Every structure is written in structure tokens, then in C-alpha cells.
Amino acid sequence: MKPKKPTSAPNPQIQEAVALHLSGQLTEAVEQMRKLLTFYPKNAQLLTHLGTIYLQQGQTEMGISALGKSIQIDPRQPMALFNRANGLTLLGKWEEALNSYNKTVALQPNHAEALNSLGNLLIQLNRNQEALASYDRVISLKPDLAGAYHNRGLALQRLRRFEEALASYDKVIVLEPNRAEALNNRANVLRKLNRLEEALVSYDKAIAIKSDYAEAHNNRGTVLQELKRLDEAIGAHERAIALKADYREAYFNLALLKLLKGNYLEGWKLYQWRENQRKFTQPLWTGAEPLEGKTILVYTEHGYGDVIQFCRYAKLIEKQGAKVIFEVPVSLEGMVSSLGSLTVIGVGQPLPAFDFYCAMMSLPLIFQTTVETIPAEIPYLFSDKDKKAEWKKKLGPKTLPRVGVVWSGNPEHTNDHNRSIPLETLKPLLELPFEFHSLQKDYKGKDGGFLLNSPQLKNHQMELTDFSETAALMDEMDLIITVDTSAAHLAGALGKPVWVLLPFVPDYRWLLERNDSPWYSTATLFRQSKTGDWKTTVAEVIKKLSSELR
């Protein structure tokens, strides 16, 4: 952000120095101001101008220091406070900057620039509701300021108020039709609203204005993937990478597409561009280093489903003569321990000594996994015998086939709006003459109310304290029916018959155009024929269940 130039001072010599500043002669202005400060060391105006020039020259810390001295002399200077806040923001000293912006606004409530910058900082601090209030104040002062509407759209987007965010971006485009960033963000919102074709048009407009807009090309690729125009999506991500060679997100999106299409060797290689890989002082294991007699730490990444799916690789490492330490989420400790002789450590617990380390999601690349060479020994996880016996006792004698049901996943998952199903959509399924059991730990939205009015679906929410309990209950089921969440992987790893309901464009691990999975031999896949159409998919499940599980 550009430092604000303070107004001039009455002293003729100071006025001359200020004039040099205002005319852009910064070097000469600094020289004069430094000389004047030897005579007027406590002149707030001089210090404010000098601090502002330092900020303009990129000497941020010197600028903050000079402005701080000025404010100590005269605390009631909105422009000194504002510029100092800008400098503090540049250094990432956000709480100090916030304090300085708030003081600016307290002294000058109609300071639109300070209110806008305050909103930007609040967004950075994830205080989105407060940011929205700040932008609304800016708009009340400057109703034609496109930037304020754009920032307001960002705050609304973060608050998941997508219709309002769309209206804000539309206002930006009315005021500034060629603002490519607004068209890109507008498209992002349209995607969240599942208005994919409109989103694509908006991305195309952004790119027409700014052809080298790598982020818009990447986002466009994501929408093309959701429309199942996969080759075009690959082209869009490749274009983003051509424009921005270190574009980690575009590489990762490209990896997922390659994997979805079954091009595993290229996909796993690109997958290494993923975020948040950890580093330890011990050497990284790349697959080339001998492991005989060594100890290796494998740390997990991403969600529970990934841990369950890929923990199978620990056995391949053990075959190389290594002792394996597997770091997993605490709720999966008991479950992953059933793999065998490896040492399982919960995340956050002290790690024992080890010689090498490796990220779990790098193992498919290290072992050069293709669709044909997936380590698919099923089952590879096992429920606890005592817990299974307890569930057998709790459930009592079986008079009908037992079906476990999971209809929704973690709402924080980026694709949850596509993969989860409202429980009410399963009503026709639950009317079949089977003994249905909910394997859900959490309920959201209207599902809880529907469950209360559905006595045919047994609720075990309070007893499912971790994955080992869920596994033991699953083992008492004749069939698991689930959406694409960790339950699908757990059932598959246990070797239980599992029917997985997949969205029109599934996650990469389920591949395309097949009703089986090379990862789980007991899985049957049911795919949406078009985006959002769960009723047809559920009807197919009902038809198969009615004919097969009798």
C-alpha cells in the first residue's frame, strides 16, 4: 500500500523540505529533513514526513521508527498512525498494525483508506465479520469505490455468504468492467454455488482481459474438471504452470487429474508438489537408501481416509528390513496398530529415535505404484476382538441383514458439497426391510432431526469414540453403504462388502468409468450420472440391495 503524504508545515524551512517530498524529490527531501531535525528534533511534522519517505523508499523499519517517534510527540496524527500501520502490516506485525489502524479511525472516523486497510488486515487475521463491517463503512463513505466492493466480496466469500459475495463482485464489474481479479473471484463464487458454466464464462472473461493470469487459468481448470471436461482441464493447469513455473497448486491439481485418469506414474511424481511437507534433521528416505536394520519414521498427511488407504505401504517398507514408526492422528492409533509389528505414535506425542523419515503420500511414488501394481492384500486392518464381541452383545440376535450407512463427511472438506448426501435423500433406502445402523459420528444440518424421526436407522453416535469402535461395529454389518469419506476406506481395508456412492466427478482414488476399485477388492462403486443427481444413484443402490442382499 502506498504511504499517504502528510500535509505541509508552517515553518518556511520545513515547508521547503515538505515541498521536495510532495514533488517526488525524495533523496533531497531526506537530506533536508535530517538537517532540520538536528535543530527541531521534536518536530512531529518532520518526523512524519521523513518516516513516510522511508516507507516509500522501502526502508520499512526506519519508516516505522520515525513515525513512532512522531506519534510519541503528538499522538493525534491520523496520517502518521495510518502510515505506521501500513509499515507494520508489511512486516507482518499485525496486532500492532491493527492497533494503529484503530487509532487512526478513532481520530478520523471517515478515513476511508484506513477503514479499507483495516478491513484487509482483519481478513488476514480471519476476523471476517469485522472486516465486512469495515468495508461497509468504506462503501457508505465512497459508494463508487470498486475496490471496497471487491474486498467486501472476499469477506462474504470467507463467511460462505456466496449470493451476497456474488452481488458485491457484480457491483465491482459494473464500476470497473475490466477488473480481471474481480471476474476471477466472481467465478470462484459461482463455482461454490454450483453454477459451473457461468463460472467458466467469468474465468474466460478474466483471461481475455489478462491473458497471463495464471490463477484464473488454474481455477478454470478446476471448473472444467467438475464439468468432466478432463483433457481441457489438464490443458488449463498446464497453461497456468507455463505462466508460473513454481505454481504449486496448479501442479497439484494436475497431479490429481493424472491420477484420476489412471496415469499413476506421472501423477505420483506431480503429487510431490503438495503443500506442508515436513522436514527433520534426519535424512529423507527417497527409496534408494538401504533400510536393513534401520528405523524409519513415516508421518501422515491429509485426512483420515488417506491414512487408512495408504498405511498399507508400511508392510512394503518392513519387507526391506526396516523398523517402521508410523505417526497417525490419535483417533487412528488403535486401528493402524492392527497392521502388524510397526510402532504407532499419535500426532503430538514424543517421537522415538529414527534414522530416516518419509511422508506417507510419497510412498506410492517410491514404490512406483501403477493401477496394476497397487498393494491390494485385503484385509490389512482388523477390528479389536474384544470390542467386536461387545458390539455383538449390544446388537443382540440378528433377524434381518444388517446394513451400516454413512451419508456425509467432514463439512470442512473442500469437496464436501459434492460428496455428501442429505439423510432425507436416503429415505426410500431406509424403507427396505433391513436392519440399518448409522455409522456416523457427527450429524449436520437437518440430518439430526430426520434421524430422530427414523427409528429404523439405529444411532450409535455416543459409542463411536474412535475408529477402532467404528471398525468393530462395521464387522457386525453384512454391508456398508457410504459416501466417499473415511468410512469407505475403513470398510475396504477391513475387507467388508462396501458400496461407495460417488459424485459425477469423483476423487482421484476412485478412477473413472468402473464399478470396482483396485484399492479395495470388496468395494462396489455407484456413480452419479450427472452433477448433483443423488436420487438416481440411490435408486440404483435400492435396486441392487433389493435383489442381492436377501
Reported as a single tens digit per residue, the pLDDT across 47-71 is 888 888 889 888 999 999 989 999 9
The pLDDT assigned to 10 comes to 58
Q: Of 255, 169, 183, nearest to 213 (Cα)?
A: 183
Helix axes 78-90, 112-124, angle to 10 degrees: 30
Q: Which residues pair with 500 in a beta bridge?
A: 482, 525
Identify the helix (H) or strand (E) that includes residue 204. Answer: helix 196-209
Distance, CA of 243 to CA of 236 (rounded, Å): 11
Question: What is the arithmetic mean of pLDDT over 301-319?
Answer: 94
Q: How confident is the model at residue 7 (pLDDT cuts 50, 70, 90)?
A: very low
- High-pLDDT (> 70) share of the chain, %: 97
Predicted pLDDT at 314:
95
Q: Which range is least confidently modeled, 13-22, 25-34, 410-419, 493-502?
A: 410-419
As a residue count, the chain comes to: 550
Q: Which CATH number fits domain 385-548: 3.40.47.10, 3.40.50.2000, 3.30.230.10, 2.30.30.60?
A: 3.40.50.2000
Rounded Cα distance, 328 and 347, in Å = 6
CATH no. for 12-264: 1.25.40.10
Q: What average pLDDT does the chain have?
A: 92
- Report the predicted TM-score, pTM, of the whole model to 2 decimal places: 0.87
The two domains 12-264 and 385-548 share their CATH topology (first three levels equal): no
**According to the model, what pLDDT value does residue 520 have?**
98
Q: 78 preceded by cis ω (within 30°)? A: no
For 167-185, the pLDDT digits (tens) are 999 999 999 999 999 999 9
Confidence band, pLDDT 50/70/90 cuts, at residue 495: very high
Domain locations in the chain as residue ranges? 12-264, 295-373, 385-548
Task: Report the candidate in 187, 183, 163 with the shortest Cα–Cα distance to residue 175.
Answer: 183
Q: How far apart are CA 299 and CA 320, in angstroms?
A: 18
**For residue 51, what pLDDT is reported?**
86
